[in-house]
Amino acid sequence: MAFELGIYHFGELTPDPVTGKTPAPGPRLRELVEQAKVADEAGLDVFAVGEHHRTDFVVSSPAVVLAAMAENTRSIKLSSAVTVLSSDDPVRVFQQFATVDLLSGGRAEIIAGRGSYVESFPVFGYDLGDYSELFAQKLDLLLKLREENPISWRGALRAPLVDADITPRPDRELPVWVAVGGTPASVVRAGRLGLPLSLAIIGGSYRQFAPFVDLYRRAAAEAGHDPKTLKVSVNSPGFVAPTHREAIEVSHPYFQAGWMANHHQRGQGVPMPKAAYEAQATEAGAFFLGSAQEVVDKIMAQHELFAHDRMMIQLGFGNLPQREALKSIELIGSEVAPVVRKEIASRTAADAAVAS
C-alpha cells in the first residue's frame, strides 16, 4: 500500500478568539463537507470525522456526516475518527458504515475506540465501571458481524443474537482500525487481533510512542500475524502554511482557544502558550505544524522511527477559519503529499534492494 495522507476533524464549536462568536452547527457541518471535497480534489487519501456528545462539538453521528461527504467526493476514503464503540451498538455501527460504504463505492472505514471522553456513556445508559469490558465485547461482535450473516453471538453486556440477519452487507470486508492513545493493553489487543492501529499523538515528543508501535508488532507476531502486513497510522494536530511564521501566527490563537475549551470535561482547560506551541512545531515535537517542507521533514523523520503507513492531521482545532483550513488542505495535497509519497517509495525500494 502506498503511504497515505489525510485530514481528521471533530467539528469543534469553540468561540472564535477574534470575534468571540460561536459557530452555528449547520454551517459548521457544511464546512466539514466542503473540506472533504477540497481534500478529495487535492489528492489526499483519507478524511475522517470523530464523535462527541456535547454542545461544543457538532459531530455526534460520524456516519451521517460521512454519507454527506460521500455524495460530494469521488475517491477519498471516509472514516470515523473515532467511533466510540463502547457506548454504541455494534449492529447499528456496522449497518451505518455498510450503508456509507455502499453509497461511496467502497470508501468507508471504521476507527473504533474506547473513548478518551466519556460523556456518551451516561447518555446511552452505560456504566463506566464496565469501560474496558464494553469495548472488548463490542469489538468482538463488530468483527464477527463482518465475517458472517446470519450471526449468532452472546456476551455479558449486550442482548444475544440468534441467527440474526444484519443488513445491508457491503460489497467487501469493511475496514476496522483500533484507535489508541498510548495504552499498552489497547496496543496489544489490536496486535493480537491483527487489526490496523490508529495511534493518536497529541503532544509531547512523538519518539516516546515508538515502544508502543514495537509492542503492537510484537503482539501481532506472537498471535501469528505478519507485522509487515498490518497498517499503522500516526494522528496528530497540525496546520500547514506557506511559511513557518504564518503557520504559527494564523493557527495559534485558534489552537489555544480549542485546547482550553475542549479539555474542560477533565477539569480545567489546558493552556497552550505560544512558546509551547512553537516547541511542538520543532522536529522533536508532535504537531505537523509549519511550512510544507517542515511537515515533509517531520513525516519522514517519523517514518524512519515508526515505519508507518498513514499520517493524519487534525486540522482546524479550535475552529480555524474555513478559508485558512481550505488553503492548508490544498498545500498538504500539492506540496506535502507528493513529496512524502515519492521519498517513502524511494526509501522502501532501496530497503528492498538491500534485503534482496
Tell me the residue ranges of DSSP E strands in 25-158. Answer: 46-49, 77-80, 83-84, 108-113, 151-153
| pLDDT mean over 194-218 | 96
Please give the backbone phi and psi of residue 283, each rounded to the nearest 5 degrees, phi first.
-60, -30
Tell me the residue ranges of DSSP E strands in the chain. Answer: 4-9, 46-49, 77-80, 83-84, 108-113, 151-153, 161-164, 176-180, 197-200, 232-240, 288-290, 310-314
Question: Any residues with CB less than 8 A from the CB of 141 and at least 6 apart, and which?
Answer: 90, 91, 153, 155, 158, 161
CA distance 136 to 89: 13
pLDDT band at 339 (very low <50, low <70, confident <90, very high): very high
C-alpha cell at 93: 455501527
Task: Identify whether the C-beta of residue 68 lies closer than 8 Å to the C-beta of residue 104.
Answer: no
Q: Which of 114, 11, 113 is nearest to 55 (CA)?
A: 11
Task: Identify whether the C-beta of residue 288 lies closer than 8 Å to the C-beta of residue 240.
Answer: yes
DSSP character at residue 332: I
SS3 at position 176? strand
CA distance 25 to 124: 22
Task: State yes or no: pLDDT of 14 exceeds 70.
Answer: yes
Secondary structure in 3-state letters for 49-76: ECCCCCCCECCCCHHHHHHHHHCCCCCC
Say what the pLDDT of residue 128 is. 86
Task: Tell me the pTM.
Answer: 0.96
pLDDT band at 146 (very low <50, low <70, confident <90, very high): very high
C-alpha cell at 326: 481550505
Lowest mean pLDDT: which of 15-24, 93-102, 237-246? 15-24
% of the chain beyond a pLDDT of 70? 98
How many CB atoms are closer than 10 A to CB 355?
6
Cell 470525522 identifies what position? 49
| pLDDT mean over 104-120 | 92
Say what the pLDDT of residue 173 is. 97
How confident is the prediction for the chain on average, in pLDDT? 94
What's at 338, amino acid-wise?
Answer: P
Cell 502486513 identifies what position? 229
Topology, domain 4-355: TIM Barrel (3.20.20)
C-alpha cell at 88: 454504541
Say what the pLDDT of residue 139 is. 98
What's at 50, amino acid-wise?
Answer: G
Say what the pLDDT of residue 264 is. 58
C-alpha cell at 276: 509551547
C-alpha cell at 156: 455479558
Cell 457506548 identifies what position? 87
How many CB atoms are closer than 10 A to CB 292?
21
| pLDDT mean over 36-50 | 98
Say what the pLDDT of residue 265 is. 58
pLDDT band at 318 (very low <50, low <70, confident <90, very high): confident
Lowest mean pLDDT: which of 52-66, 199-213, 256-270, 299-313? 256-270
Each residue's pLDDT tens digit, 260-281:
887 655 566 788 999 999 999 9
Task: Identify whether the C-beta of residue 39 lies closer than 8 Å to the C-beta of residue 107.
Answer: no
Residue with more model confidence, 322 or 119: 322
Query: Which residues pair with residue 233 across a beta bridge?
Result: 198, 310
Burial class (CB within 10 angstroms; exposed 0-12, middle 13-18, buried 19+) of 215: middle
pLDDT band at 117 (very low <50, low <70, confident <90, very high): confident
Domain borders along the chain are: 4-355
